Structure 1
């Protein structure tokens, strides 16, 4: 797959790249997820301004959604499949134990797409939890984020939308939006808290207080 290093990208660059990426999908429309070290994860993604024909955009969104489900994950940004566009898909409908859902303020999040998103803290409240990333497989780390945000984005038709998110929904939106500016969660994590997922059982489902005692951060 060709990855153009010149910026800004032309609409032709983007269209060619998207077609090449989609050619790598399997029969279930699942795309390879690039890992930390790929240059696309460290670049400012291009604002989406109708660079893609509608049919191609819909094909890309379908593939991103299937890739998110297959991973499985609760969000996927276009740079994670090698495309430097400000697009992400989000959904969190996985069943979780009530205790963990309450601890994380984790409410169901129906599928939606975000184009050219931004967010700002809506309150002074903060949330401290473990966080992982499909582009940094096998690890999680503690990240402090605003617990309540005001989010602005566009949908696939270009309509501007403003929504408020709290708890885990706010974390998902922030995580995916960060990807679009070349930021990966490890940039914001307490590095001493970093843990391989094979060790998570030692920390009572990623309980931060327990991990702080064991890992001394």
Structure 2
């Protein structure tokens, strides 16, 4: 049965350590971690979560876009485990948008990201996938991919004036939608 895992918070050194390549995608430990990450991200009302956020050093994350309390306009997709993910190409067009993070509760930041990316990853059944992602889902992928390299969204914010509290974000942006 899947568990809801504790999410490491900003300041925990585990969030700054690079993760390690997953050698055996079908290992019971990895399959259980995937199930636990899916339960954790759904419980936390997130749209993605990376293994380092739950103190696991595996190069693995979940993209689970769906409308929820934190992201009411998110597109709906099935939670997808992305193992040993890579960004193969990125558009030169960048877009700034507000991001939050389960490891940095209460804060949003305006983060520049590539609007479109070409990616490759292994899914939980061991098959290699290659696809192009755009807009919000591309943003989720880039955010979670950063976690695998010990990078937090705060590292990408260009000015501290582009930070705001979650409460203020909800008042200014979510009620307008």
TM-score by length of 2: 0.88
| Compared CA separation, residues 178 and 64, structure 1 to 2 (3 A) | same
Shift in Å, 1:120: 4.4
Q: Is structure 2 residue 151 aligned with structure 1 residue 172?
A: no
| Compared CA separation, residues 59 and 95, structure 1 to 2 (3 A) | closer
How does 1:66-77 map onto structure 2 within 5 Å? 66-77=39-50
Count of equivalent residues: 173
Structure number, greater radius of gyration:
1
Alignment-derived partner of residue 110 in structure 1: 78
SS at match of 2:18: coil
**RMSD (Å), alpha carbons:** 2.3
Greater RCO, 1 or 2 (C-alpha within 8 Å, sep 6+): 2
How does 1:1-217 map onto structure 2 within 5 Å? 29-50=3-24, 54-94=27-67, 101=73, 106-190=74-158, 191-205=160-174
Please say if residues 2 and 32 of structure 2, whose CA atoms lie closer than 8 Å, have aligned partners that are also in contact.
no
CA–CA separation in structure 2 for the residues paired with 1:165 and 1:206: 27
CA–CA separation in structure 2 for the residues paired with 1:89 and 1:185: 17
Please say if residues 68 and 76 of structure 1, whose CA atoms lie closer than 8 Å, have aligned partners that are also in contact.
yes
Structure 2: segments with no counterpart, 5+ residues = none
Shift in Å, 1:56: 2.4
| Compared CA separation, residues 111 and 53, structure 1 to 2 (3 A) | closer
CA–CA separation in structure 1 for the residues paired with 2:7 and 2:14: 11
TM-score by length of 1: 0.73
Shift in Å, 1:53: 6.9
Shift in Å, 1:37: 1.1
Shift in Å, 1:162: 0.8
